[in-house]
Amino acid sequence: AHREGKNQILFFEPSLTERTQKRLTQESEILLAIEQRQFTLFLQPQVDMQTHQVLGAEALLRWPQRDGSLVLPAEVIPLAEELGVIVPLGNWVLEESCRILARWQHQGIKLPLAVNISVLQLLQQDFISHLKQLLVQHPIDPGKLQLEITETVRINDLEQVLGLLRELHDLGLSIVLDDFGMGYSSLNYLNHLKCLPIDLIKIDKSFIDGLPQDDAIVRIISSISGVLNLPIMAEGVETDAQRDWLLQHGIRYGQGFLFAEPLAREAFEARFCPPVQ
Ligand code: C2E
Ligand code: CA
Ligand code: CA
Ligand code: CA
């Protein structure tokens, strides 16, 4: 029987077997990394560009390697989504964020923390009940937890996502529409947005990159936010010229290397959270 089993492998496309093998290895690597707490969250400040005040932080996933390098989310998140391990990974991110917020609350640090949520994670049956459970385990002000959800929601899922966002908002969480302008946009969708419980729109970095020369899309997004009466934040602000353009056009909130790169929590706290008297 063993021999037969061995021979059967010959029926598969060798490259396919290799791919399957690779996927299985990657899947267990990610699961093991979660279990062994190898992941960490870096924090990047979000600022009021007018007053230079730090308003909060975005938590960004990092995977430190033995050699000291950091694996970035672009390598981990899409893979985790494809392999079906985005839920345990996303749950770890949410829990770690709650731990940070609980710690901050204890230390008198009043900043909110923004967490990226994969739509796949959001659409899980037990997402809300899991979140409620987390909020019981970590008694934090739910208003301090901001969920950044990318706008790239498939039209089929739109109704379901709308319902979920309302529920999350009712729990007191803040909802941020991430990467605005990148995904599904139609006039009908904008109509939906009007009744959505969204607290902030973030303009994707790719549109900020073009400033101050190519400003058409940022102007459009800015006027949409005006119509919807929603505040906006610019992502990926790197230059004084970009910041100046944004401020001149009434966009006060920003995030980017001009202010700070994502930092390890300790470094973030040392730099942006002065000890409370
Ligand atoms: P995002 O949500 O759009 O996050 C902003 C990305 O831009 C981050 O990349 C950040 O490090 C980077 N960034 C911020 N300011 C600048 C700048 O001035 N210049 C440049 N060149 N880059 C800047 P990062 O950390 O590599 O994350 C990439 C994406 O991965 C995020 O995009 C987000 O969609 C996703 N992601 C990150 N952490 C998580 C997570 O915990 N869960 C989930 N589901 N997705 C995550
Ligand atoms: Ca984000
Ligand atoms: Ca995003
Ligand atoms: Ca983005």
Question: Is the pLDDT reported for residue 95 higher than 60?
Answer: yes
Peptide bond into 212 cis (omega under 30): yes
In the three-class reduction of DSSP (H, G, I as helix; E, B as strand; rest coil), residue 202 is classed as: strand
CB 224 within 8 A of CB 203: no
Question: Is the pLDDT reported for residue 72 higher than 50?
Answer: yes
Helix or strand (DSSP H, E) at 235: strand 232-235
Please list, in sequence order, all residues whose beta carbon lies within 8 angstroms of the beta carbon of residue 181, skipping any fewer than 6 positions away: 151, 203, 204, 207, 217, 220, 221
Question: Is the pLDDT reported for residue 168 higher than 80?
Answer: yes
Between 42-46, 170-174, 184-188, 208-212, the lowest mean confidence (pLDDT) is in 184-188
CB 246 within 8 A of CB 226: no
ipTM of the complex: 0.98
Question: Is the pLDDT reported for residue 1 higher than 50?
Answer: no
Residue 174 pairs in a beta bridge with 146
Residue 264: HSE in the Cβ half-sphere, 13 Å Cα cutoff: 6
How far apart are the CA of 12 and the centre of ligand 1, in A? 39
Signed CA dihedral, 227, 233, 235, 241: sign only: positive
How far apart are the CA of 60 and the centre of ligand 1, in A? 6
Q: Whose CA is nearest to atom 30 of ligand 1?
A: 73
Whether the CB of 119 sits within 6 Å of ligand 1: no
